[in-house]
């Protein structure tokens, strides 16, 4: 069984106690990690705080170069990291439409490379014979990164790299279900960066709570569920600690009555089921006009019945297991609720008879708003298809949900679709796509889906404070 240590101040750290990490494709432990406690939180924050003055004053060019070296280390160890991601999350090496651990690790390289090249500008407000006024963006201090189990390495990169590029130091706390790829990344990065610039601790949720409440944490970056995000805000409030929170989503996709169903159905299916539906910005509520409702339902059901589900380490697997037993039970409960509400199950609907945490890719028709499967985020391979007749009404229905992460409109009329997409109450809106992210376009939620944004200059600015400098002449 593989053993992984925490890393504090550039050194491997053991606690004397360990916990198992389960491969969700088998239900069997494949690794052991250190069970951190309050003392390790103190050590990690102290190391990051001590490293901050020198790192924040390191030249912009040197920080850029070091982060490119980190990207190179991820790339050089890509095969190992892909296997770790697949073992801890269950996602395939390749995956449906190429969305798998290869994309996660490759995307981590690309995101690091792009972010390394970003530069924070100095804004000149005034420059005349009276005075010069400049606005500078300064690093905050120690950043706490708390990451979820669905994209453990990629989301760690989204938090850590812009924080470091802006001149902050970092303490990472990965999800207990999926710590190993982050631990390996932190080890690789700590071999390149000065001691204390990046640290990682592992353990239960209580360790994360101690970290977010610590008075020496200047910023919390969190991706995960809305209830946990609210607890983090409460924890951080005592110190007025800044937060960026990317929380749950229950994204709606609206299909206009002019699409080519044969062409669009595979794209719709991929938007719903990539990473087995375990993505915050996956399409989770599919609204289809009554004129094409049955045709779309049958096309989606056919795709669900033919997608290849299995162990992510096996070649040809498109969808893997649900990542953990607790989430599998949530999906099973939502499926039962949908059946009680009169949902028509066109494909799937059952836990698969095999080892691990597998649930059949499931398409449910004939539900509407008010059903739990429509109103709640399932975060798994089950999607309701909902009939509508009036476009203004369906936009209102889509917006009525408390979440506001992403949304999409699907149509052959791109101008009309773009106009309608802008009426959706969400942080990101797509036309004829859903959930496609890139490192130069800001991403974040509104309403119960969070606050702040990630990616590009907009995202990196969240790891800084403004200082206005006025020089009187």
Residue 311 lies in a domain: yes
Asked if 285 and 198 sit in the same domain, the reply is no
d(CA 341, CA 374) in angstroms, rounded, equals 11
| Residues in Cβ contact with 205 at an 8 Å cutoff, skipping those fewer than 6 apart | 176, 228
Check which CATH number belongs to the domain holding 147 and give it: 3.40.605.10
Asked if 134 and 200 sit in the same domain, the reply is yes
Asked if 231 and 376 sit in the same domain, the reply is no
Asked if 222 and 119 sit in the same domain, the reply is yes
How far, in Å, are 42, 365, 388 from residue 262 at the CA level? 57, 19, 20
Asked if 40 and 154 sit in the same domain, the reply is yes
Asked if 269 and 176 sit in the same domain, the reply is no
In this structure, what token pair is assigned to residue 387? Answer: 């009939």
Catalytic hit among 33, 88, 243, 246: 246
Instruction: Name the maximum alpha-carbon separation found in the chain.
Output: 78
Q: What is the pLDDT of residue 274?
A: 94
Domain residue limits at 373: 251-439
CA 259 to chain centre: 30
Residue 444 lies in a domain: no
- Please confirm, yes or no, whether 280 is among the known catalytic residues: yes
Q: What is the pLDDT of residue 280?
A: 94
Q: For the chain, state the CA radius of gyration.
A: 23
Residue with tokens 């798994």: 380
Residue 388 lies in a domain: yes
Q: What is the pLDDT along the chain (473 residues), one digit of tens a residue?
A: 899 999 999 999 999 999 999 999 999 999 999 999 999 999 999 999 999 999 999 999 999 999 999 999 999 999 999 999 999 999 999 999 999 999 999 999 999 999 999 999 999 999 999 999 999 999 999 999 999 999 999 999 999 999 999 999 999 999 999 999 999 999 999 999 999 999 999 999 999 999 999 999 999 999 999 999 999 999 999 999 999 999 999 999 999 999 999 999 999 999 999 999 999 999 999 999 999 999 999 999 999 999 999 999 999 999 999 999 999 999 999 999 999 999 999 999 999 999 999 999 999 999 999 999 999 999 999 999 999 999 999 999 999 999 999 999 999 999 999 999 999 999 999 999 999 999 999 999 999 999 999 999 999 999 999 999 999 99
3-class DSSP state for residue 470?
A: strand
Catalytic hit among 33, 243, 272, 280: 280
DSSP string for residues in 12-35: EE--S-EEEEEETTTTEEEEEEE-
Asked if 235 and 274 sit in the same domain, the reply is no
Q: Where are the alpha helices (DSSP H) in 311-469?
A: 325-340, 372-375, 391-399, 414-421, 456-461
Asked if 300 and 334 sit in the same domain, the reply is yes
Check which CATH number belongs to the domain holding 340 and give it: 3.40.309.10
Asked if 232 and 257 sit in the same domain, the reply is no
CA 56 to chain centre: 27
- Please confirm, yes or no, whether 393 is among the known catalytic residues: no
Number of domains in the chain: 2
Q: What is the pLDDT of residue 177?
A: 98
């Amino acid at each position: 069984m593989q053993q992984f240590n925490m890393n504090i101040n550039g050194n491997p750290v053991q606690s004397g106690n360990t916990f198992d990490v389960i491969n969700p494709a088998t239900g069997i432990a494949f690794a052991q990690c250190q069970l951190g406690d309050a003392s390790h939180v103190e050590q990690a924050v102290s190391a990051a705080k001590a490293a901050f003055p020198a790192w924040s004053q390191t030249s912009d060019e040197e920080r850029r170069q070091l982060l490119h070296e980190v990207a190179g280390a991820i790339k050089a160890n890509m095969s190992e990291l892909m296997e770790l991601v697949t073992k801890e999350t269950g996602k395939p090496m390749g995956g449906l439409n190429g969305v798998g651990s290869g994309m996660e690790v490759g995307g981590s390289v690309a995101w690091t490379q792009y972010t390394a090249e970003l530069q924070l500008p100095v804004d000149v407000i005034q420059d005349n014979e009276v005075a010069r006024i400049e606005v500078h963006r300064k690093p905050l201090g120690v950043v706490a990164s708390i990451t979820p189990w669905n994209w453990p390495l990629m989301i760690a990169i989204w938090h850590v790299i812009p924080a470091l590029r802006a001149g902050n130091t970092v303490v990472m706390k990965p999800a207990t279900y999926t710590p190993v790829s982050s631990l390996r990344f932190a080890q690789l990065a700590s071999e390149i960066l000065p001691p204390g610039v990046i640290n990682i601790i592992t353990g239960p949720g209580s360790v994360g709570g101690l970290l977010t409440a610590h008075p020496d944490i200047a910023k919390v970056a969190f991706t995960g569920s809305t209830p946990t995000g609210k607890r983090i805000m409460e924890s951080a409030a005592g110190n007025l600690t800044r937060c960026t929170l990317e929380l749950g989503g229950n994204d709606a996709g609206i299909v206009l009555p002019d699409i080519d169903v044969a062409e669009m159905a595979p794209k719709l299916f991929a938007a719903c089921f990539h990473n087995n539906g375990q993505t915050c910005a996956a399409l989770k509520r599919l609204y289809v006009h009554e004129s094409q409702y049955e045709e779309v339902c049958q096309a989606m059901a056919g795709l669900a019945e033919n997608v290849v589900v299995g162990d992510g380490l096996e070649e040809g697997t498109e969808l893997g297991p649900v990542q953990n037993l607790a989430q599998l039970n949530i999906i099973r409960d939502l499926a039962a609720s949908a059946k009680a509400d009169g949902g028509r199950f066109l494909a799937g609907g059952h836990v698969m008879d095999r080892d691990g945490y597998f649930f059949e890719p499931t398409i449910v028709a004939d539900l509407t708003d008010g059903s739990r499967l429509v109103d709640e985020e399932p975060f798994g391979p089950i999607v309701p298809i909902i009939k509508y007749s009036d476009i203004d009404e369906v936009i209102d229905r889509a917006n009525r949900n408390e979440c506001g992460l992403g949304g999409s409109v699907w149509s052959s009329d791109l101008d009309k679709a773009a106009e309608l997409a802008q009426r959706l109450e969400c942080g990101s809106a797509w036309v004829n796509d859903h959930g496609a992210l890139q490192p130069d376009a800001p991403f974040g939620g509104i309403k119960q889906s969070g606050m702040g944004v990630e990616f590009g200059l907009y995202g990196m600015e969240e790891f800084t404070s403004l200082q206005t400098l006025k020089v009187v002449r």
